[in-house]
Structure 1
Amino acid sequence: MMEEEELEFVEELEAVLQLTPDVQLAIEQVFPSQDPLDGADFNAVEYINTLFPTEQRDDWCVLRLDDNIRTVVRGQTNVGQDGRQALEEAQKAIQQLFGKIKDIKDKAEKSEQMVKEITRDIKQLDHAKRHLTTSITTLNHLHMLAGGVDSLEAMTRRRQYGEVANLLQGVMNVLEHFHKYMGIPQIRQLSERVKAAQTELGQQILADFEEAFPSQGTKRPGGPSNVLRDACLVANILDPRIKQEIIKKFIKQHLSEYLVLFQENQDVAWLDKIDRRYAWIKRQLVDYEEKYGRMFPREWYMTERVAVEFCHVTRTCQDYAYQS
């Protein structure tokens, strides 16, 4: 069966490779050759049978097949040995990897412990730094407070109100930092000295204004005193009652002349001469701006206060005149 198939294959191959005589002759002329393989009547089967008789051909095929089988078997044997060797190497590599992982884990735990210790030390140092900074700041404030109180008392006695206005506000701001330390006798003593200085300042300023603008008598001629101007700045820091008392005294003294000139028994006090009242207050307001406009702070609105009080007094006088 095999031989028949081979013969059929050879015949088909020869039919495909069959050349015309002219082509074959041209090839032989161009490429002359004595090799039987190049002959036009070459028969592959006969050529093989000539080289290898039937028994020799079968033996050769068997030997060739044995060699192939032996090569495959040896290859499989080598593959098995290589596989076992690769498996052993992989196991060793895995063991080494586990060892390295364990070392890394141990080092990581040691590093974590070290970081915790360093962090704990840093926190302690940070707390110490914060406490030290607070202590230094508190000592500086205490030094400023003690020195400020001494200077405040001395300036008050010398009536240096301009310097007192700047110093008093600073001393009060520093004193606020010591509210939680009032249980300490020295701090409490400094706080009491500040309060005493404020009380003394208030009484002293009121006395200065009373002397400059007495409740009874005429107004002093001339412009305002720089001392009183600075005293108004101090009054802004003190108890608001000091400021209100100064305003009240000044307005009362400023309108004292008006009450005398326009008494109900005077001719100018009658209703038909009301224009004289407003002419008087107009002159007084102009005079106030020229003499005292810079003495009182603008936020005191002294001009407006004088005008409002003038209106109240005028209304009271007119009501009394109508009733009479």
Structure 2
Amino acid sequence: MEASRMEESTSGSNGAALGKEAEDLDHIETKNFSATEYLNKLFPNEESLSGLPEFLVKLRRRIRKVNDEILVAVRQQSQTGSRAKEDLAQAQNGIEDLSGRITEIKVKAEQSETKVQEICRDIKKLDYAKRHLTNTITAFRRLSMLMSAIQNLQEVSDKRDYRETANLMEAVNQLASHFESFSQIPKVCELRGQLSAIKSGLRATIFDDFIYATAKEEIPPETLEKLTHACRVVEAIDLHVKDELVSRICNKEMSAYQQIFSTNEAPSTKLEKTDRRYTWMKKLLTRKQPFWDVFPKSWEVSSLLCTSFCKITKAHLSETLDSMRDNPDVANLLKALHWTLDFEKELNLMAGGGEISLYEGG
């Protein structure tokens, strides 16, 4: 009885162990699994074989379970593969669609860029056209103003209205400067010819008025004012005209001077009259002071007149001294030297401290 109980106990304990091992099959999946060791562990002796039927039942149950799981996994994998193919196909279709859209966007962008360039090109053409049109309108407006100004200038110059002539001349010169590059255009050439003729006429009339004024002992105030404006006209005509006018006035005054003192008298007599030369010049400057004030200070007419006087006087005195070299008149020579030095001092004061010398000829 006791032996039977012991066998049952041993069989029961072995069955429990086998059942536990049968349930714990995870280690079968390990890399170092050994079937022999596993079986020896489950059935170490003959008594342990009594639990074999129960172990086989549990093992078959586990196999069926594993098979079911494999079947489910295979089905899921099949479904997943089909879905993956569908997703891949959708992705490929999406990529193709996206690529097509990108290509379309690129084409539209290129078309837009082309249109923008065409628009910019048209805008540039319009801008150039606007600029040229503006310049053309401005040129025509200035041309119209120039034509009107030249006509008015002709009218006032014929009247010798130098005040208005000076104002118009400055305006005409400014307008004419805009057409220097249009000298080949017939109308511009015609206007330039008219302006040149007006300037030539003004030059002649102004020169006549000044020469006529220098011949008078007293010049009326209205004439002096007229000549003052005439100087502005001369400056507007050309600087060379100014130099020519000043030169003519100086030559006219010095011509009278030479007629008075270029005599056939004896050298000593000429030397005695040296002080009369300087007196004549000082009277010329003081007597005609209102006339000299007509000219702008920048012209330095009085200084140029004095310079001309000094050059002529130097030539006269040098000629006189040369003729007296063999028989010098020391007394008159010293007097002439004294008068000359005094006159030079007066001229230097008159010139504002500048150096004017008969010995240097100006």
CA distance in 1, matches of 2:41, 2:293: 137
Instruction: List per-residue Cα deviations over 1:88-118 (Å, max 9, x = no partner).
Output: 1012112212332343244335434543553
Tell me which residue corresponds to 2:226.
227
CA distance in 2, matches of 1:288, 1:298: 18
Is the CA contact (8 Å cut-off) linking 1:219 and 1:254 kept in structure 2? Answer: no
Tell me which residue corresponds to 1:237.
236
| TM-score normalised to structure 1 length | 0.69
Tell me which residue corresponds to 2:308.
309
Within a 5 Å distance, the mapping from 1:1-324 to structure 2 comes to 1-2=37-38, 53-178=54-179, 185-214=186-215, 219-220=217-218, 225-255=224-254, 259=258, 265=265, 269-270=270-271, 287=286, 291-292=290-291, 294-324=293-323
> How far 1:133 sits from its partner (Å)?
2.0
- Structure 1 residue identity aligned to 2:199: Q
Is the CA contact (8 Å cut-off) linking 2:213 and 2:219 kept in structure 1? Answer: no
The 1:249/1:184 distance shift into structure 2, 3 A limit, reads closer
Q: Tell me the SS of whatever aligns to 1:143.
A: helix
Instruction: List per-residue Cα deviations over 1:128-156 (Å, max 9, x = no partner).
Output: 42343233122212211211111101110
Tell me which residue corresponds to 2:355.
none
Instruction: List per-residue Cα deviations over 1:45-96 (Å, max 9, x = no partner).
Output: xxxxx9x953344234324433443344334323322321121101211221
> How far 1:167 sits from its partner (Å)?
1.6
CA distance in 2, matches of 1:268, 1:220: 32
> How far 1:300 sits from its partner (Å)?
1.5
CA distance in 2, matches of 1:166, 1:60: 128
| TM-score normalised to structure 2 length | 0.62
Instruction: List per-residue Cα deviations over 1:279-318 (Å, max 9, x = no partner).
Output: 7756765x38953564212332223312321221221111
Q: Tell me the SS of whatever aligns to 2:218.
A: coil
> How far 1:222 sits from its partner (Å)?
7.1
Bigger mean CA deviation after superposition, 177-186 or 196-205: 177-186
The 1:185/1:66 distance shift into structure 2, 3 A limit, reads closer
> How far 1:172 sits from its partner (Å)?
3.1
The 1:238/1:267 distance shift into structure 2, 3 A limit, reads farther
Structure 2 residue runs without a partner (length 5+): 1-36, 43-50, 324-362
Matched-pair identity in %? 31
Structure 1 residue runs without a partner (length 5+): 7-49
Q: Tell me the SS of whatever aligns to 2:294.
A: coil
The 1:136/1:54 distance shift into structure 2, 3 A limit, reads same
Q: Tell me the SS of whatever aligns to 2:62.
A: helix
Is the CA contact (8 Å cut-off) linking 1:156 and 1:201 kept in structure 2? Answer: yes
The 1:186/1:234 distance shift into structure 2, 3 A limit, reads same
Tell me which residue corresponds to 1:29.
none
Tell me which residue corresponds to 1:43.
none
Is the CA contact (8 Å cut-off) linking 2:228 and 2:294 kept in structure 1? Answer: yes
> How far 1:208 sits from its partner (Å)?
0.4
Is the CA contact (8 Å cut-off) linking 1:222 and 1:291 kept in structure 2? Answer: no
Q: Tell me the SS of whatever aligns to 2:140.
A: helix
CA distance in 2, matches of 1:74, 1:165: 113
> How far 1:251 sits from its partner (Å)?
2.2
Is the CA contact (8 Å cut-off) linking 1:145 and 1:171 kept in structure 2? Answer: yes
Is the CA contact (8 Å cut-off) linking 2:146 and 2:172 kept in structure 1? Answer: yes
- Structure 1 residue identity aligned to 2:98: L
> How far 1:120 sits from its partner (Å)?
4.8
Is the CA contact (8 Å cut-off) linking 2:199 and 2:237 kept in structure 1? Answer: yes
